[in-house]
A and B are shown apart, each in its own frame.
Chain A
Amino acid sequence: MSQVFHPIEKKIILAVRTDPSLNNPGTLKFQTGLSDDQIRRGIEWLKLKNLLEVKESKQTVITLGENAIKARENGLPEKRLRKLVDEGPKSLDEIKKELQEDFSAAIAYAKKHDWVRIENGLIHPKAPLKPLAEEDFILHLGTGKKPVDQLSHFDKKSVEYLKRRPKFINEKVLTSITFALTSLGKSIDIDAVASGAIDVEASVPHTVVSRIHPLKEVINETREIFVSLGFSEVLGNLIQPSFWNFDALFTPQDHPARDMQDTFYIKDKTTAKFATATQINQVSRSHKNGWGYNWDILEAKKMVLRTHTTCVTIKYLAENKPEDARIFSLGRVFRNEKVSYKHLFEFNQVEGVVVGKDVTLRDLMGIQREFYHRMGLTKIKFWPTFFPYTEPSLQSMVYNKELNKWVELFGMGIFRPEVTKPLGITRPVLAWGGGIERIAMLKYGLEDVREFYNNNLSWLRSATRCQ
């Protein structure tokens, strides 16, 4: 509880201590000279501090609706109608012109009271006029209001009757409060606090934060986990020859993924030197044997925005031929996709690779589990899937509590011999990877992946993790 009292609070406590009959905002206002808003805030604060006991009561009150107010000035429509025809029978059109939107009500109620008859399209007066209880009620209430529980028996009948007519009666629930000091409020010493103290529990304005981009935080976390699992980072260019992005990974040159529909090619750019003669010959032969077509070096020279980070890891393995290694590559990759809430044309991917004499598919699964575990994702299972350059291939499914479903995350597999042999890689290579945005979406509870790249300041300044 705050030990500091605002001047408003002091004023209220003192006033109520002096005169306990000041038990509602109206009398308090009169006595203290505080404004409505100050009194409202003061009462709220004192209530939170358990110094004031506040009782709320609700009361339904009646006021006249716009049609009743009109009737109060001009008379009820049915009465106006009768007075018009008292001057002589009138046609429906004449009456309509006179009463306008009140016409239907006038005819209906006048007929109900038997005040008019309609003959050959003319309206004639009939039974004599008489006073109506509801008319009296309207006149008496005027612009005032009356609590429902204070209505007399006759008034109640009138209200019931008038409620059936549109916009005649408004009902409103009013909340009124009364209050009294609690025992604590009666005894507390409001002047006992040292001068210069401030309300340290009061809310304060929001400070604009400067921070790492929320997606970058997840990227950094991913990188840290790889490093902590003994993996070393390999960086590579975003623009790669098709050779390393596709051919070296046994993707046939007529494969749909290589269409301009799916992959970004750079206009008027090819590369002259992209691999050794041996590498080129061996890859060419692997395609001819495996897919049965004549491999074309011109296709391999075309420059693309890399569609995965695998081009970086495979090139590293081909150049260094490590006997044992744990490496990873992390960075932007590109797909020629229409942007939507779940697809971006540019996103971040991480890919890890383990090379070793005795590494197995079970090891690959174990490393996945360990990675996800460190990411805070504990419920994992594996399903088979297909990738052109790994065999066997698996995909990992991670259970998401918020979404209450299994979400597909990283894909994995062992590099095919058709990939490794031509490049002189002799030991088995375990590889896995996937998009980081997908994990980041789970962490920030986002449903639209585009938010990461909108650079919307209100989001950047406020985004927090839910997982």
Chain B
Amino acid sequence: MPVVTLYLNRLRKLVGVNINKNKIISTLPFLGLDIEEQTKEYVRVEYSPNRPDYATDFGVAIGLQGLLGIKRGLAKFNVKKGTNFYQLKVDPSVTKIRPFVTAIVAKNGKLDDETIRQLITLQEDLHFGIGRHRKKSSIGIHDLDNISFPLRYIAVSKDHKFTPLESTIPLTAKEILERTDVGKQYSGILGSTSKVPMILDSKKETVSFPPIINAALTTISPTKTTNLLIEVTSTDKSTAEDTLSVVAATLQNAGFDLYSVKISGGKNSTPSLKNRTIRLDPTLINKTLGLRLTPATICACLRRSRLDATIKNSKIVCTIPPFRFDILGPMDLVEEVTLGYGIENLESSLPPSVSIGHKDIITKDLDRLSLVMIGLGFLEALNSSMVSKKVQFELTSRDSSKMIEIIESKSQEHTVLRDAILPGLLENLSKNIHEPYPQKLFETGVIFSSANPINEDIDLACVSAYNNANFTEMKSVLQSALKIGFSIKCETKTSHHPMFSSGRTADVVVNNKVIGRIGEIDSKVIDNFKIRVHVVGFEIKLTGLIFDNVIN
């Protein structure tokens, strides 16, 4: 989840009325902002990626004004029609590379260091979230005064040369992609095309190389820059305009005047950045919240959530600004009403119960088995379903040819799904060699086997470790567990397995069907685990024996 730092003095000024810092801090969670860190000067809050308008203190201030009752309804969002002077023409050559571009001009604003920092964070968060790591959309913020209109968005050869941001020498597009950090990081987005997209101005100067880097020419600087050009390139028209709308609204809140840029060529057109309306039935609100709010109250709640709402024929018509693209339909407005009403004002209620609850039969059987195992003196262990190849196969001399692997696990010790529980219990013993013996452990859990596509069964495994641990004891435990727990009689038939001592291992057989294996663990395996006492154990499949497969 993205995080934004809010300086409290600045935030108070933006909210506009002299309000106690503590009041501001205690209101933030009711906007859906989780406080991560709090100091005297600032708070760091986590915001949900579906509300990128909260990526800056400007947007948070708008939300706070609503909940604190300082300002209600839509915040000003006004795009003046730019003259024909601001034009961006799209060349067909970009169609197959990155087809969409949109832009806006923001003038007569002030940029101090903190505002620039907030804008850069907003840009980064948008790149990460809606932009899907710049793949879907990316943003360039430029100093308008260094740009000559009209602009062209065009695909050029990789030999095209310009001075990129934070560089002093001109580089070719190829050099940027191959040598610079941002180039290497994002070159994959452009794929293997021979040409790359550029925004050029009328003097043929490069403005931007999307989605990689801006040109040094249009670098913004605190205090000096007062006029901006914002451009967004994208693989998708509505994503481009959604992204632009968030930046535009933020700049308006920061004091800039917005002017439209005329966009043409391909499937591109000038962005509308208009409000839309959704009709809302008050019944849906009241039914969902369990309240009886009048349409007027509902409108007031929506206005506290910084939307506009009017009543028309007993329905509510809600006006939504373009940057609230998280609102898909009426249900999203129910949430806006809830926040405007105040969650703290909602009283809990209890629905009448119409059902009798029960546990699943597998759960019941496993509970019973656990009780029997504990009665037999065994302690329950819990291991992960994901295990290491080393423990599961190498140290235990087990066959790894059918192992099921996980893609790109972040933990090197957990890369395959367990096909048995016993190896994990041996590892537990090896980590407890300094603890008093006897050590007796059991575990029940899911094991995986290759099928179409994968089978999940539930096993019981059990180990006993101390100097006098022996086969007889283990067989006795196995017999009692099955008999007392489930009235099942089992037999043991001589067998061989490299994990167990030769001559001291057997198949566990119930009704002529092999359900598992029991035996003394082979001394080489015990050595591998650095255990210094005898270990005996068994593992049996409970699925098919006590209960059937889980189907869901």
Known A234-B552, A345-B410; judge A332-B385 contact (CB<8 A). Answer: yes
Within 8 A of B (CB), among A234-249: 234-239
A316 at the B interface (CB under 8 A): yes
B550 at the A interface (CB under 8 A): yes
Chain B neighbourhood of A290, CB < 8 A:
328
Mark interface residues in B398-436 (1 if CB within 8 Å of A CB, else 0).
Answer: 000000111111110010010000000000100110011
Is B338 within 8 A of A392, CB to CB?
yes
Chain B neighbourhood of A361, CB < 8 A:
288-290, 338, 346
In the complex, which of the residues B30, B363, B385, B406 contacts A235, with contact meaning CB atoms closer than 8 Å? Answer: B363
Chain B neighbourhood of A455, CB < 8 A:
381-383, 428, 431-432, 441
In the complex, which of the residues A239, A305, A339, A383 contacts B411, with contact meaning CB atoms closer than 8 Å? Answer: A339
Within 8 A of A (CB), among B253-287: 287
Known A212-B370, A220-B367; judge A418-B328 contact (CB<8 A). Answer: yes
Chain B neighbourhood of A326, CB < 8 A:
353-355, 357
Chain B neighbourhood of A254, CB < 8 A:
132, 136
Is B331 within 8 A of A416, CB to CB?
yes
Smallest CB separation, B435 vs chain A (Å) = 4
Chain B neighbourhood of A315, CB < 8 A:
552
Is B287 within 8 A of A358, CB to CB?
yes
Is B349 within 8 A of A223, CB to CB?
no
Mark interface residues in A361-381 (1 if CB within 8 Å of B CB, else 0).
Answer: 111011111100000000001
Is B381 within 8 A of A213, CB to CB?
yes
A452 to B410, CA, bound (A): 20
Smallest CB separation, B124 vs chain A (Å) = 14
- Give the residue name and chain of the A residue nearest to B46 (CB): A385
Known A230-B357, A391-B335, A417-B331; judge A338-B411 contact (CB<8 A). Answer: yes
Chain A neighbourhood of B386, CB < 8 A:
264, 305, 334, 345-346
Known A230-B353, A383-B32; judge A303-B359 contact (CB<8 A). Answer: no
B329 at the A interface (CB under 8 A): yes
A403 at the B interface (CB under 8 A): no
Smallest CB separation, B216 vs chain A (Å) = 31
Chain A neighbourhood of B50, CB < 8 A:
386
In the complex, which of the residues B129, B343, B354, B432 contacts A384, with contact meaning CB atoms closer than 8 Å? Answer: B343
Mark interface residues in B492-528 (1 if CB within 8 Å of A CB, else 0).
Answer: 0000000000000000000000000000000000000
Chain A neighbourhood of B407, CB < 8 A:
260, 264-267
Smallest CB separation, A443 vs chain B (Å) = 16
Smallest CB separation, B464 vs chain A (Å) = 11
Is B552 within 8 A of A230, CB to CB?
no
Mark interface residues in A5-18 (1 if CB within 8 Å of B CB, else 0).
Answer: 00000000000000
B317 at the A interface (CB under 8 A): no
- Tell which of B17-25, B170-178, B372-380, B482-490 binds the partner: B372-380
Smallest CB separation, A457 vs chain B (Å) = 4
Is A336 within 8 A of B410, CB to CB?
yes
Is B360 within 8 A of A233, CB to CB?
yes
Smallest CB separation, A269 vs chain B (Å) = 5
A382 at the B interface (CB under 8 A): yes
A332 to B443, CA, bound (A): 15
Is A266 within 8 A of B359, CB to CB?
no
- Give the residue name and chain of the B residue nearest to A322 (CB): B355
Is B380 within 8 A of A354, CB to CB?
no
A279 at the B interface (CB under 8 A): no
Is B383 within 8 A of A453, CB to CB?
yes
A369 to B348, CA, bound (A): 8
Chain B neighbourhood of A452, CB < 8 A:
382
A338 to B409, CA, bound (A): 9
A282 to B48, CA, bound (A): 28
Which of the listed residues A216, A228, A324 has the most CB atoms from chain B within 10 Å of its own CB? A216
In the complex, which of the residues B339, B367, B384, B435 contacts A453, with contact meaning CB atoms closer than 8 Å? Answer: B384
Is A270 within 8 A of B453, CB to CB?
yes
A455 to B430, CA, bound (A): 11
Smallest CB separation, A380 vs chain B (Å) = 9
A408 to B290, CA, bound (A): 25
- Give the residue name and chain of the B residue nearest to A360 (CB): B290
Smallest CB separation, B158 vs chain A (Å) = 27
A356 at the B interface (CB under 8 A): yes
B448 at the A interface (CB under 8 A): yes
Is B378 within 8 A of A210, CB to CB?
yes
Smallest CB separation, A217 vs chain B (Å) = 9
Is A229 within 8 A of B357, CB to CB?
yes
Q: Report whether over half of chain A's contact residues are helix, strand or loop; otherwise say mixed.
A: mixed
Mark interface residues in B334-374 (1 if CB within 8 Å of A CB, else 0).
Answer: 11001100011011111101111111101100010010001
Smallest CB separation, A265 vs chain B (Å) = 5
Chain A neighbourhood of B335, CB < 8 A:
384, 391-393
Is A345 within 8 A of B289, CB to CB?
no
Smallest CB separation, A192 vs chain B (Å) = 40
A460 at the B interface (CB under 8 A): yes
Chain B neighbourhood of A231, CB < 8 A:
355, 357
Within 8 A of B (CB), among A180-215: 208-213, 215
Within 8 A of A (CB), among B424-466: 428, 431-432, 435-436, 439-441, 446, 448, 452-454, 456
Chain A neighbourhood of B338, CB < 8 A:
361, 384, 392
Chain B neighbourhood of A100, CB < 8 A:
none
A292 to B407, CA, bound (A): 29
A85 to B128, CA, bound (A): 84
Is A237 within 8 A of B456, CB to CB?
yes
Is A292 within 8 A of B238, CB to CB?
yes
Is A381 within 8 A of B357, CB to CB?
no
Which of the listed residues A316, A325, A338, A414 has the most CB atoms from chain B within 10 Å of its own CB? A414
Smallest CB separation, A341 vs chain B (Å) = 15
A386 to B49, CA, bound (A): 9
Is A391 within 8 A of B332, CB to CB?
yes
Chain B neighbourhood of A237, CB < 8 A:
456, 550, 552
Is A239 within 8 A of B448, CB to CB?
yes
Is A212 within 8 A of B380, CB to CB?
yes
A256 at the B interface (CB under 8 A): yes
- Give the residue name and chain of the B residue nearest to A417 (CB): B331
Chain B neighbourhood of A460, CB < 8 A:
379, 381
Within 8 A of A (CB), among B26-68: 29-32, 34, 48-51
In the complex, which of the residues A256, A269, A386, A454 contacts B132, with contact meaning CB atoms closer than 8 Å? Answer: A256
Is A238 within 8 A of B32, CB to CB?
no
B236 at the A interface (CB under 8 A): yes
A159 at the B interface (CB under 8 A): no
Mark interface residues in A303-335 (1 if CB within 8 Å of B CB, else 0).
Answer: 101000000100110000000111000001010
- Give the residue name and chain of the B residue nearest to A357 (CB): B287
A458 at the B interface (CB under 8 A): yes
Mark interface residues in B288-310 (1 if CB within 8 Å of A CB, else 0).
Answer: 11110000000000000000000
Smallest CB separation, A270 vs chain B (Å) = 7
A62 to B409, CA, bound (A): 66
Smallest CB separation, B100 vs chain A (Å) = 13
- Give the residue name and chain of the A residue nearest to B428 (CB): A455
Chain A neighbourhood of B344, CB < 8 A:
381-382
A267 to B402, CA, bound (A): 12
A266 to B455, CA, bound (A): 13
Chain A neighbourhood of B440, CB < 8 A:
210
A266 to B95, CA, bound (A): 36
Mark interface residues in A219-231 (1 if CB within 8 Å of B CB, else 0).
Answer: 0100100111111
Chain B neighbourhood of A363, CB < 8 A:
290, 349-351
In the complex, which of the residues A208, A292, A360 contacts B288, with contact meaning CB atoms closer than 8 Å? Answer: A360
A236 to B550, CA, bound (A): 6
A-B contact pairs, 16 of them (CB 8 A): A210-B376, A211-B379, A232-B358, A238-B456, A325-B355, A336-B408, A336-B409, A337-B410, A339-B411, A360-B288, A361-B288, A362-B346, A382-B346, A386-B32, A391-B331, A392-B335
Using A254-B136, A392-B288 as known contacts, list a sample of 16 further A-B pairs with CB atoms less than 8 Å apart, ordered by residue number in A: A210-B374, A233-B360, A238-B456, A239-B454, A260-B408, A266-B453, A312-B552, A332-B446, A337-B410, A360-B290, A362-B291, A383-B30, A383-B32, A384-B30, A392-B331, A461-B435
